[in-house]
Structure 1
Amino acid sequence: MSRIVIIGGGPAGYEAALVAAQLDADVTVVEADGAGGACVLHDCVPSKTFIASSDVVTNYRDTDEFGIHSDGLAITVDAAAVHARVKRLALAQSGDIHAKLVKAGVTLVKGTARLGEDTLGHTHRVRVRPGDGDGEYAIDAGTVLIATGATPRRLPTAVPDGERILTWRQVYDLPKLPEHLIVIGSGVTGAEFASSYLAMGVPVTLVSSRDRVMPHEDADAAMAIERVFRARGMTILNNSRADAVKRVGDGVEVTLSDGRTVTGSHALMAVGSIPNTADLGLTEYGVAVGPGGYVTVDRVSRTNVPGVYAAGDCTGVLPLASVAAMQGRIAMWHALGEAVAPLRLRTVAANVFTDPELATVGVSQDDVDSGKVPARQVMLPLAGNARAKMAGLDDGFVKLFCRPASGIVVGGVVVAPRASELIMPITMAVENHMTVNQLAHTITIYPSLTGSLAEAARQLMQHELE
């Protein structure tokens, strides 16, 4: 029986463990926090649960248009109740994953691990340090998977204190909502939290070092969401870099690189993550580590050391739970001799959980504009969609890219409520090399937002027929 040790129990680790157990391997997962890792306990699951609470508030906005009157009653948000629900659901999800792993026959160890000394033969010695204080012990395994994730990046001039200067993992310990939140960083994480707090009635200032929010996302989509943010009252400081954040009395003061200062009650640091690879003994063992501390892997999750794999945020491939999980599965399929296709990032869908959401898959607008990928495109505002009119949706659009001659769908963008669900038909089209003709001939529900996807395909099909 193959013996496998997985260091880290997040999406990469626990999904890999389930695959390996299914293939009759002897699997041990070493995880410090609990099943699901930081993703489930501190990052993705908590943040999306928090966003779900803000969505409830959003549903009460502008109800007079629908003939629904609240008689002037104000909507209040109980921060303690919101945070308690966030933590409760995170623990419940972790418990579900733990139960699934145990049922599959996986051995779970609460603690930390590192690569040990080199051994004879085709095994790797892993040093395990249990969290209960018991002595360190070794496990010799044929395959090791490094799946240790990442941690919020901390700036020396803006050290989080858990009270006023916060990482996104610390916001759920606040006794009440901030009076004025300053969000440092306008990437995906910063935009999501800025959107959520704004929906909950918190004045928000978003500090962006670039000329628009979410600079790495589709420009049309990012600008559409920025317009929504501004229309709802968010203050956005573009081309503004934060040099330092310090506590001043009962608030914070943010100093920008041009000398300006911004004051608020709390500051949320959303300036990226760093991989958790420092204490794993990788360099001593000969495992290649690239710039920033990310483990270097190929498209089947192999490191340069035979039998040692890595997956998830510690590799820096693409910081998505879905990608981490697939990297972990691919690693086990490959290690255990199963037929496996290398990771294909071109078919990975990604979503930003702002309001409205922003979902993308396949080629980007930059790819097309630069000439890197030849494609035709169409963009349809949701305002022309019957279901959108009924729901009072004025913002958002769908965009579709296809090959110029064949009409094969190669990418798309959706800005809309639940764009994370609406992107799925485009993802399936990209994955299965469908043409706009095939998409256009697919009958959609009327009225529905998906109708705009078919309409976009019909417009591209018309171009193809000309």
Structure 2
Amino acid sequence: MTRIVIIGGGPGGYEAALVAAQLGADVTIVERDGLGGACVLTDCVPSKTLIATSTRMAVMSESASLGLQFSGGPDGIVGGLEVDLGLVNKRVKDLARAQSFDVAERLAYEDVRIVRGQARLTDPHTVTVNGTDIPADVVLIATGATPRVLPGSEPDGERILSWRHLYDLPELPEELIVVGSGVTGAELAGAYTSLGSKVTLVSSRDRILPTEDADAASVLQEVFLRRGMKVLSRSRAAAVQRTGDSVVVTLEDGRKVEGSHCLMTVGMEPNTRGIGLEKAGVKLNRRGFVEVDKVSRTSVGNIYAAGDCTGVMMLASVAAMQGRIAMWHALGEAVQPLKLGWVAANIFTDPEVATVGVSQKMIDAGEVNARSVMLPLFSNPRAKMQGFEDGFVKLFCRPSTGIVLGGVIVAPRASELILGLSIAVQQHLTVDQVAHTFAVYPSLSGSITEASRRLMQESAY
């Protein structure tokens, strides 16, 4: 029986453990904080739970066009929406704990051994935990990553925050400064704006979401501004200081921004230090991430790695697939190498931004030859009925064959809508095939088939 030791119980670790156990291996997971890892306990699950509340708040606040109005109170005062952050955060943490428990139960059902503690590689075939050596034929490193800290802007957990501090706040931040306009910054800035905070988003680039589709970023920024967010473009933070019950963010050009709280969202650093990787011969890149190939192997034959510690698209879905692929490969099963061009990604703002396949940037740079179409969401009948005006469906295909290459969806629940395009990309479907697929009428997904019809060609493929 192959002995497998997995260091880290997040998606990369626990999904790998399930595959290995089902294939008959002897599996041990070593986890320091709790099953599900940071993804379940502090990062993805909590943030998306908070965002679910904020999205509901935004929908209710913007429902006047649907004929909904808040009734007057007992003294004739117009009623309004308010958030009870204590209840919201309790729900967030309860749900995270429940999800962690579910993961633990599933692993126990598959007879996966769970060890609580800090693991360290003594050599390529030995993992030491709490002073005990665990022999391993195969090791999987799935230790995740930690919020990056800027010198001079260290979080204190009260006024200067990383996103892992948010769910202990007793009250809604009155004036929240969010430093960093990438995915995490945009998601949380949008969420707290909808919950009622006055939010200032500090972006070092010319727009929010600088690495994402420019059309999508433009729509989202317009929505943020309309809802009252202040966006400071081309503004890089130099330092953050606490002054009593407030914070001051000093920008590199000398400007100062004052608020009640500051949230730092300036990237992630891998959890690869102090666990014996270098001693075991595992190669790291210059930023400290574990170098892996497309079947999750490291530079040491029996050691694999998965998830954020590899720096390969920091998504839970990618981590899970890396972990599965690692176990299939290590245990001699047929395996298809990781294909990043098949990865569907979503930004959980309101509206959401979902993408798959090639990007507009690749097409504009001449890296990919493609035809494209973009349909505004407000032309969709279901969107009109539900009062959705912001967003679009963009579709790319090959000029000669019509094979779907990718797309972008900006819409409520874009994370659900993108699956159809993901299937089309992975299965090499043509726009004709997608166009001839029935979509419910009325539905937002109807815009996908409509976009495909716009790209159809008469010539035979």
TM range (shorter): over 0.9
1:25 alignment partner AA: A
CA distance in 2, matches of 1:368, 1:117: 46
1:305 pairs, out of 281, 288, 300, with: 300
SS in 2 for 1:305: coil
CA distance in 2, matches of 1:462, 1:337: 44
Q: Which residue of 2 is the match for residue 393 of structure 1?
A: 388
TM-score (norm 1): 0.96
Q: Does 1:109 align with 2:109?
A: no
Q: Which residue of 2 is the match for residue 82 of structure 1?
A: 88
SS in 2 for 1:91: helix
Q: Deviations over 1:337-377 (max 9, x none)?
A: 00000000001000000000000000000110011011000
Q: Deviations over 1:70-123 (max 9, x none)?
A: 1221111001100000000000000000000000000001111111036xxxxx
Q: Deviations over 1:34-54 (max 9, x none)?
A: 110111001000000110111
Moved more, 55-64 or 355-364: 55-64
**Pairwise CA distance, 1:64:** 2.3
Q: Deviations over 1:260-319 (max 9, x none)?
A: 000000000000010000011111111101121000000000001110000000000110
**Pairwise CA distance, 1:464:** 6.4
SS in 2 for 1:16: helix
SS in 1 for 2:61: coil
CA distance in 1, matches of 2:163, 2:236: 19
CA distance in 1, matches of 2:315, 2:458: 35
Q: Which residue of 1 is the match for residue 24 of structure 2?
A: 24
Q: Does 1:421 align with 2:416?
A: yes
**Pairwise CA distance, 1:460:** 0.3
SS in 2 for 1:423: helix
SS in 1 for 2:83: coil
Q: Which residue of 1 is the match for residue 106 of structure 2?
A: 100
Contact 1:218 1:364 in 2 (8 A): yes
**Pairwise CA distance, 1:69:** 1.6
CA distance in 2, matches of 1:270, 1:423: 26
| Structure 1 segment 234-253 matched on structure 2, within 5 A | 234-253=229-248
Q: Which residue of 2 is the match for residue 47 of structure 1?
A: 47
Q: Which residue of 1 is the match for residue 74 of structure 2?
A: none
2:133 alignment partner AA: A
Q: Does 1:222 align with 2:223?
A: no
CA distance in 2, matches of 1:285, 1:331: 18
Q: Which residue of 2 is the match for residue 126 of structure 1?
A: 127
Contact 1:152 1:273 in 2 (8 A): yes
CA distance in 2, matches of 1:112, 1:211: 42
2:312 pairs, out of 293, 298, 317, with: 317
| Structure 1 segment 184-223 matched on structure 2, within 5 A | 184-223=179-218
2:17 alignment partner AA: A
Q: Which residue of 1 is the match for residue 146 of structure 2?
A: 151
Contact 2:402 2:457 in 1 (8 A): no
Contact 1:41 1:91 in 2 (8 A): yes
Contact 1:407 1:464 in 2 (8 A): no
Contact 1:385 1:452 in 2 (8 A): yes
Number of aligned residue pairs: 454
Q: Deviations over 1:125-159 (max 9, x none)?
A: 11112xxxxxx110111000000000000111101
Gaps of 5+ in 2: 72-77
CA distance in 2, matches of 1:222, 1:464: 35
Q: Which residue of 1 is the match for residue 268 of structure 2?
A: 273
1:49 alignment partner AA: T
Contact 1:313 1:324 in 2 (8 A): yes
| Structure 1 segment 425-464 matched on structure 2, within 5 A | 425-462=420-457
SS in 2 for 1:255: strand
Q: Which residue of 2 is the match for residue 61 of structure 1?
A: 61
Contact 2:201 2:230 in 1 (8 A): yes
Q: Deviations over 1:5-38 (max 9, x none)?
A: 0000000000000000000100000001111011
Q: Does 1:365 align with 2:349?
A: no
**Pairwise CA distance, 1:462:** 4.5
1:340 pairs, out of 331, 335, 344, with: 335
Identity of aligned residues (%): 63
Q: Which runs of 4+ in 1 moved over 2 A?
A: 462-465
CA distance in 1, matches of 2:322, 2:60: 40
Contact 2:377 2:388 in 1 (8 A): yes
Contact 1:80 1:175 in 2 (8 A): yes
Contact 2:29 2:115 in 1 (8 A): yes
CA distance in 2, matches of 1:4, 1:249: 51
CA distance in 2, matches of 1:84, 1:434: 45
Q: Does 1:177 align with 2:183?
A: no
CA distance in 2, matches of 1:463, 1:281: 61
CA RMSD across the alignment: 0.9
Contact 1:152 1:274 in 2 (8 A): yes
SS in 2 for 1:338: coil
SS in 2 for 1:263: strand
CA distance in 2, matches of 1:358, 1:460: 22
Contact 1:16 1:328 in 2 (8 A): yes
**Pairwise CA distance, 1:463:** 7.8
CA distance in 1, matches of 2:48, 2:429: 32
CA distance in 2, matches of 1:177, 1:126: 43
Q: Which residue of 1 is the match for residue 75 of structure 2?
A: none
CA distance in 2, matches of 1:329, 1:226: 37
**Pairwise CA distance, 1:63:** 2.2
Contact 2:61 2:81 in 1 (8 A): no
1:127 alignment partner AA: T
Moved more, 71-80 or 414-423: 71-80
Q: Deviations over 1:221-244 (max 9, x none)?
A: 011101111111110000000000
Gaps of 5+ in 1: 119-123, 130-135
CA distance in 1, matches of 2:263, 2:210: 19
CA distance in 1, matches of 2:341, 2:431: 18
Contact 1:405 1:464 in 2 (8 A): no
**Pairwise CA distance, 1:56:** 1.8
CA distance in 1, matches of 2:247, 2:311: 32
